[in-house]
Chain A
């Protein structure tokens, strides 16, 4: 399709470069924006520019933050002896939403993935190790993919010799599911990850 305005074409190209947004959706969004008043559009554009200007990585946990160190790392209400290790900042949001976890985080920004040319030194592992003084437990909350598993084992191998407790999140049955209807691969993983009742 050829547009009568180069600006429209440019805006469509920008929007459709975003993940999950196709050309058709981008076109719809652009026509929506054209119908809004100028203030709406400037606020919208500024919020994007501010994002890049103000948001940075926390120098301790490598989560996104506007102040360094981030509010979680400096909070007085959190348990400073536990670190939960995740692959991406998204994962911090997911765990924070539960409101149950009160320790610290560490974002690796990826997992060990030779196919993508990512080795242990390319993710924030050294930075994690340097934070471990006074830490009593490291919880590994990586994805259940082969890459996440390799990274989990890797971290366990280097952290355990430091006499720090290393745990991983359980992969079990979905709550509310009836055992009879859960596929056997999930049940088998849940049995592998069984815990003793104390």
Chain B
């Protein structure tokens, strides 16, 4: 995938910005608060309908304006043009248009502009909560499968209804309705868990290779998928019939507790992914440098899987990561970008250091961002 150009209107501090990109390396530099990350956010909105930063759309509209809009043009590996146009105003629903039509829903565009994002904020994948790790995996699988994305939306609704029923159960509740909601929850959970488990299985060997390349040390790394905090044998979680039996048994076992506590106590909304380094979890024993190596390896493994599955090389967004990386790791990141032949968008506050690291690469464009305006360096 290759982004050709983007127009950004009234997004954060950008009034009206318009840029054409290099097919390879795009270095976007400027001071903190200049609006350089906003360009990456705009690309992310065109791919996911949402920014990769946790923020409400309302807060992204430029102060005093009524809406923001983004128009992005790209071409895929078959040289077919693909455009996305997103308009968000506080009053109306988000309007999504693309080459595929007007009045689209998020489902219609998610996965059409495959992208991998590497941001220091994503250290939450190893440091943060199980929720953060689930978001990481859900974001990838949503790009890979619309069925998965729909199941995620569906399970959220089922859980809301089921939790509501359970939380009022002391007043009496309808047993048949609970049975049906539990049945829906079991079936949707099976779909989500098997997909996640299969993905982790595919991810691990690729991740290990990248980890070995990125880190100078030879630690042994591993990733486990935990079903409600338990490491369940892959032969169960990859077999839909066995998994369904297992989950049904769990709900039967937990029924009294669920009614007493008034909430759902089992399901993929409680699962976690465990990053192992040598013999402990990364969260507990990894050094700062090891955390960075894990994150970088994970993101390149993500890119490779998306590339294999979609026959399309995702673009890569790197948000201010080089200020936190030593020169060896920085060089390795660029070697990988070059080897995987991905179009990269890199934000940084300082360019001299990068210019050294990437002196041997061709097709590099520099963009200076200042007060929400973009200047292309000639």
Contacts and interface: CB of A to CB of B under 8 A. Distances in A.
Contacts of A120: 174, 176-177
A184 B161 contact: no
A75 interface: no
A157 B183 CA distance: 13
A150 interface: yes
Contacts of A115: 160-161, 164
A114 interface: yes
A114 B165 contact: yes
Nearest to B150: A185
Nearest to B165: A114
Q: How large is the interface on B (under 10, 10 to 19, 20 to 34, 35 or more residues)?
A: 20 to 34
Contacts of B150: 185
Interface centre among A119, A146, A147 (most CB of B within 10 A): A146
A184 B145 contact: yes
A157 B176 contact: yes
A183 B160 contact: no
Interface string B142-153: 000111011000
Given A114-B161, A114-B165, A146-B158, A153 B183 contact: yes
B283 interface: no
Contacts of B165: 114
A154 B184 CA distance: 12
Interface string B97-130: 0000000000110000000000000000000000
A127 interface: no
A146 B108 CA distance: 20
B242 interface: no
Interface in B130-175: 145-147, 149-150, 154, 157-158, 160-162, 164-165, 168, 174
Interface string A120-153: 1100000000000000000000000111011001
Interface of B: 107-108, 145-147, 149-150, 154, 157-158, 160-162, 164-165, 168, 174, 176-177, 180-181, 183-184
A147 B147 contact: no
Given A157-B176, A185-B147, A185-B150, 4 more contacts: A114-B164, A115-B161, A157-B180, A184-B147
A113 interface: yes
A59 interface: no
Contacts of B183: 153
B161 A154 contact: no
Contacts of A183: 107-108, 146
Contacts of B181: 150
Contacts of A112: 177
A121 B172 CA distance: 13
Contacts of A149: 184
A188 interface: yes
A113 B161 CA distance: 7
B376 to A, nearest CB: 37
Interface residues of A, number: 20
Contacts of B145: 184
B36 to A, nearest CB: 34
A154 B158 contact: no
A146 B176 CA distance: 15
A150 B161 contact: yes
A150 B180 contact: yes
28 contacts: A112-B177, A113-B161, A114-B164, A114-B165, A114-B177, A115-B160, A115-B161, A115-B164, A119-B174, A119-B177, A120-B177, A146-B154, A146-B157, A146-B161, A146-B184, A149-B184, A150-B161, A150-B180, A153-B180, A153-B184, A154-B176, A154-B180, A183-B108, A184-B145, A185-B146, A185-B147, A185-B149, A188-B147
B268 to A, nearest CB: 16
A120 B172 CA distance: 13
A112 B181 CA distance: 11
A79 B160 CA distance: 40
A121 B180 CA distance: 16
Contacts of B162: 114
A115 B177 CA distance: 13
Nearest to A187: B147
A149 B184 CA distance: 9
A121 B175 CA distance: 13
A150 B168 contact: no
B4 to A, nearest CB: 24
Interface in A11-27: none
A95 B41 CA distance: 44
